[in-house]
Structure 1
Amino acid sequence: MNRQPTIVDVALEAGVSRQTVSNVLNTPTMVREDTRHRVEAAIERLGYRTHASARRLRTQRSSTIGVRLEPSTNGVSGALLDRFLHTLTEQAEGQGLRVVLYTARDAEHEIAQFSRLIDGADIDGLILTSTFYGDPRTEWLVAHNQRFVTFGRPWGISDLEDPQHFWVDVDGRAGVRQATEHLLAEGAKTVAFLGWPRGSGTGDERRHGWEQALTDAGIPEDARLEAETVESIPAARAAAVRLLNAHPEIDALVAVSDTAALGALIASDGALPVVGFDNTAVAESIGFSSVDQRLDVVAGDILRLLNEVGTTSSAHPDAHTLVTPRLVTRPRTGALELLRRP
C-alpha cells in the first residue's frame, strides 16, 4: 500500500466497522477483547499511524483535546470564550496536554468535525461550549462512546444528571443574585433586570437569580420590572431606554451580560447603577461592577473531569460541577465620567 492507510482500511482488514476501529483507538474498554485484538493486529500490519496508535493502545490517551473555535460575535461579552480558550490552553499545557482547534458553522457541521477528528485519530477527548436545549452534539457523543466534557449544562430534562455527560457550568443564578443583593444593600429600591429573550438556558438561570433576590427582599412580583434584549449594545441601549422611560422609578439595573450592561449605562448617561455579567475588559476599563465567571476554576475542573471520563462510576460526586462566580464591585465615578465625556 503506497498511500497512508486510513481508518477505513483498518476496518476492512479487521472485518469490523469503522466505528469499532474508532472505539478501539479512543475507548478500548468498550470493545470486546477478541475484537480489540483483531483491530490492533490490523493496525500493526497496515502501519496505521503507528506511533499514535501505539500510544493510544498503551495509555488510552493521546494527550490531545479538541475544542471548537467559536465564531466572532458583535457583543462585548463575545470575548468570554476567547478568554476561556486561552486559560484552558495554558492549563492544558501545564499538564502535558495539547489543544486542537476546529471550526464549525452549526451543530450539524460540528458533529461532522467530530467524525473527522476521531476517524483521523487526532484526539481522544472533546470539550464542548455553547450548550443549548436539545443539543444534538452531546447525544451524538454519548451514542458513539466518546470522551467529552461540556462547558455549560445540557439544558435538557432527560440528561441533566446523565452520568455519561460530564459538565462544568457557572452558577449564573448565584451570580445575578449576588449582584441584585449588592444593589439593594447600596440603597436601591427598584432594581430592574435587562435579560435575553426567554428560552435561553443561561439567560433564564440569571433571571431566576434576580427574582430570587427580590423575593428574599420581600418585593412582590407585580413590582418587578424587566426588559429583553439580544446580545448587541444598540439593542440593549434601545431596550433600556424604553424601560427607563416607562418606569422612571427604576434606580438600579442588573444586566444579563456586560454587553447589556454597557447598553444600559449609555441609555442612562452613566447615571444609573448597573451591574453586568462576565467581568470583561470593557467592564474593567469603563469601571462598572460585573460578575466574574472564574474561568481559571472552570478550565481546571473541565480538565480534571475530562481525565476522569470513562474511569469513574455514575456515583462520582463531581460529574456535574457548578462553579460559584464572584461579584467584582467598582466605584461608579469612572463610568459616569467616561460616558459623559464630550
Structure 2
Amino acid sequence: MVTIEDVARRAGVSRQTVSNVINAPAKVREPTREKVDAAITALGYAPNAVARRLRTQRTSTIGVRLDAYSGGVSGVVLDRFVHALTEHAATRGLRVLLYAARTVDEELRHINELADGGEVDAIILTGTSRDDRRAERLRERDMPFAAFGRPWGTEDPAEASHPWVDIDGAAGTRAATAYLLGDAGPRVAFLGWPPDSETGDDRERGWREAMAAGSGDRAAPRISSEDGVAQAQGAIRTLLKDDAVDGIVCASDALAIGAHLAAVEAGRPGLRIVGFDNTAAAEALGISSVEQLPERVAAGLLDMLMGPEERRISHPPAPVGLLVEPQLIVR
C-alpha cells in the first residue's frame, strides 16, 4: 500500500507538506501543491479516511435531513438538492449523512444524537421557518451549520446570524409575470397557497410587484389552493367559469398542472400558465416554469461552510446570506 511517506519522497517534500496539501491546501504554495498532486496521481495514493478522522478529530461528514416521501410532484427540488450536495461534497473530500425526521421535535433529537456521538462536522438545515428551533439548538450545541432557506423575519443577507442560501422566489414570479404580461395580456392571475406560507407569500410578492410595475390589470384575481393537482384544478375550474384571464402564474408546478388541466377542460388549452420548480412533469406537459437551480444552492452552502481552506469545515462558519436568482424556462 502506498503511504504518505512514499508520496513525500516522490515529490521531494516533507511528510507534513503532503499532509497540508491533502487537508489544508491553502497553506501550500501552488508549485509545491502541483508537485505533490503529481506524485499522488503517479503513485495512486489514497488517503486513509479512517486514520485521518482519528488524527484530526474530524469526521469529514455533513448531516442533512431527508424529508419523508410525499409522492406526487412535490419534493423534487429537495431531492435534486441532496443529490447535488452529495456530488459537490465528494469533490471536497466530504461525505453526506442523511437522517429522516417527520417533525421538528424528532429532528431536534437527531441533532442531539449526532452532536453527542461526534458523527458529523456540520449540519445543513432545510425547510426553514420563522424562529427556527433547530437553529437555536445547533448554536447551543456549538455545531457548525448552514441552511437551505432564509431565516424568515431577518431575510436581509447583511443581517445573517448564520450562513444561508435561498432561492429568490419573488424574482422568479416577477420574471414569470412580466413574461405573461408581454406575451398573453394584462389580466394575469396568481394561483398560490393559502396565506401565511412564507415561501408562498414571497412568490406572491413577485407577482404583485410585476403587476404594479408593468401593464398588468391590478384587479386580476389571486386564487388560493392547497398544493395538489386536483385542488388546483378545482380552483381554476371555478375561476374560468366567470373570468377570462389572460394567463396564470403559479406558486408550484403541482398548481400549474392542475390549472392546465382545468384550462383544457374549459376549452382553453392555449391559456398561458407558468409554474415554479421546473419538474419533469411540467416539462412533459409543455408548461413553462421557474427553475430553482438547487445545484447552485448546494455549491454555495459548501463554500460558506468550508471557508478559504476548501477542505475543512470552518468553526464557526461566517454568517452570510445569499439569494440565488432562479431562471424562467419558457415552453
TM-score strictly above 0.5: yes
TM-score when scaled to structure 1?
Answer: 0.75
Query: 1:313 Cα deviation (Å)?
Result: 5.2
Deviation (angstroms), 1:123? 0.2
Cα gap change, 1:277 to 1:215, in 2 (>3 Å): same
1:293 lines up with 2:288 in the alignment: no
* Shift in Å, 1:121: 1.1
Alpha-carbon distance in structure 1 between the residues aligned to 2:187 and 2:171: 20
- The aligned counterpart of 1:102 is 99
Contact 1:194 1:226 in 2 (8 A): yes
Q: The residue matched to 1:149 in structure 2 has which SS?
A: strand
Q: Of the candidates 118, 124, 130, which is equivalent to residue 115 of structure 2?
A: 118
Q: Work out the CA distance in 2 between the residues paired with 1:143 and 1:177.
A: 39
Q: 1:250 aligns with which of 242, 245, 260?
A: 245
SS at 2:75 equivalent: helix
Q: 1:142 to 1:243 in 2, by over 3 A?
A: farther
Q: 1:142–1:164: 8 Å Cα contact kept in structure 2?
A: no
Aligned to 1:142: 139
1:162-311 mapped onto 2 (5 Å cutoff): 163-219=160-216, 221=218, 223-247=219-243, 249-269=244-264, 270-308=269-307, 309-310=314-315
Cα distance in 1, alignment partners of residues 145 and 72 from structure 2 = 28
CA distance in 2, matches of 1:293, 1:52: 35
After superposing the two structures, state which structure 1 stretch, 304-313 or 236-245, moved more. 304-313
TM-score normalized by the length of structure 2: 0.77
SS at match of 1:139: helix
Q: How does 1:45-84 map to 2 (within 5 A)?
A: 52-56=53-57, 61-84=58-81
3-state SS, counterpart of residue 81 of structure 1? helix
Instruction: Indicate how the Cα distance of structure 1 residues 68 and 302 shifts in structure 2: closer, same or farther if over 3 A, else same.
Output: same
The alpha carbon displacement at 1:162 in A equals: 5.1
Kindly provide the amino acid, as one letter, of the partner of residue 253 in structure 2: D
**CA offsets, 1:202-251, max 9 Å, x none?**
10000000000000014464x1311111111111111111222232x201
SS at 1:165's partner residue? Answer: coil
Deviation per CA, 1:34-59: give whole Å up to 9, x if none: xxxxxxxxxxxxxxx99645322xxx
Q: Which has the higher mean CA deviation after the structures are superposed, 320-329 or 303-312? A: 303-312
- The secondary structure found in structure 2 opposite 1:117 is helix
1:299-338 correspondence to structure 2 within 5 Å? 299-308=298-307, 309-310=314-315, 319-330=320-331
CA distance in 2 between counterparts of 1:187 and 1:286 reads 19
Show CA shifts across 1:163-221 (max 9, x none): 43110000000000000001111132210000011111110000000000000014464
**Equivalent residues of 2:62, 2:124 under 8 A apart:** yes
SS at match of 1:245: helix
Query: What do residues 27-80 of structure 1 show as CA deviations (whole Å, max 9, x unaligned)?
Result: xxxxxxxxxxxxxxxxxxxxxx99645322xxxx42100011111124413221
Alignment partner of 2:74: what SS? helix
Q: Which moved more, 1:278-287 or 1:135-144?
A: 135-144
Q: Check whether the contact 2:171–2:325 (CA below 8 A) recurs between aligned residues.
A: yes
Report how far residue 267 of structure 1 moved. 0.5
Distance 1:120 1:158 in 2: 33
Residue 138 to residue 162, structure 1, CA distance change in 2 (3 Å): farther
- Matching residue of 2:16: none
> 1:75 touches 1:231 (CA, 8 Å); kept in 2?
no
**Shift in alpha-carbon separation, 1:262–1:280, aligned structure 2, 3 A:** same
* Counterpart AA for 1:278: D
- Structure 2 CA distance for partners of 1:204 and 1:128, relative to 1, 3 Å: same
How far apart, CA to CA, are the structure 1 residues paired with 2:231 and 2:281?
17
Residue aligning to 1:155: 152
> What is the root-mean-square deviation of aligned Cα atoms in Å?
2.1
Report the Cα distance in structure 1 between the residues aligned to 2:133 and 2:317, rounded to whole angstroms.
Answer: 24
1: distance between equivalents of 2:155 and 2:169?
21
Identify which range, 130-139 or 212-221, moves more after superposition: 212-221
Corresponding residue pairs, total: 272
Identity percentage over the alignment? 42
